[in-house]
Amino acid sequence: MGKFLKNEEILEFFWDDKSQTSSSFPLKPLEVGLIHLWYGRRRKEDLRSGVQYFHNLIEKYNNGRYRLLRNENGKPILEKIKADTLNLALSISHTDDLIVVAFAYAHNLGLDVEKLREVSRSEKVAKRYFSEQEFFYIFENAENDEILRNHRFVQIWTLKEALIKSQGGNLLLDIKEAELNIGGPDSTKEICVTSANWPQIILNSRLKSSPCSEKTFSYYQAIAVEF
């Protein structure tokens, strides 16, 4: 059975327009076994400021110990300059105007956020890309409940994408490989799962409300981590 990340293991921070250009952050120390999540607005009219903020944020964790690179699938990674340095993992995701950046001293880390919305052709997509167990979870007792189906579909999708990102993979190529073993509690807010192929990965899913967007919306946030 998968284990939940405890609330005290996830520290959340927020940035606003002023802090995007500030040289200081209200940063609590990042320790092994903790995850830092940064939430901010992704402004379509000024994407350059968001990119600059992202690089400024990395520098606050970097302190000259890592190089920012991208793997073969375009995923940003931090490469250690010295062999005896702790491995610092990062993952980025955005949905609508919300952007989230995760940091952890971990072997692998994947983050995905996805706005809760109506999913067209959800049954067709699930049959093609999801396992029988995942398909059953989404559509069990939900034949006439479109809202519940949308919840479960987005929930499973974000978990699979976070898992794939934690392995540095490509979503479309690896989505079937990211099979989930689904356990209780049966809830649209939280679900306890494990990875069929990477059992060492801790998976966590939560239904949240956008903390700093121009308009309020619900979204699923999934984290996959191997400390």
Residues above pLDDT 70, as percent of the chain: 81
Count helices and strands (H / E) in the chain.
5, 11
Mean pLDDT of the chain: 81
CA 104 to chain centre: 12
The pLDDT value recorded for residue 27 is 63
Q: What angle do CA 189, 193, 197 make, to 5 degrees?
A: 145
For domain 7-226, give the CATH number.
3.90.470.20
pTM: 0.87
Residue pLDDT, tens place only, 18-49: 544 444 455 678 899 999 999 887 766 555 55
Domain borders along the chain are: 7-226
The candidate with the shortest Cα–Cα distance to 37, out of 27, 46, 45, 47, is 27
The pLDDT value recorded for residue 46 is 57
Cα separations (Å) of 126 from 34, 96, 151, 223? 33, 23, 13, 21
The pLDDT value recorded for residue 161 is 92
Residue pLDDT, tens place only, 141-166: 777 888 888 999 999 999 999 999 99
Q: Token digits for 68?
A: 């920012």
The candidate with the shortest Cα–Cα distance to 15, out of 61, 54, 48, is 54
Instruction: Please give the residue that has the higher pLDDT: either 74 or 157.
Output: 157
Looking at 83-87, 120-124, 179-183, 213-217, which range is the least confident one? 213-217
Residues above pLDDT 90, as percent of the chain: 28
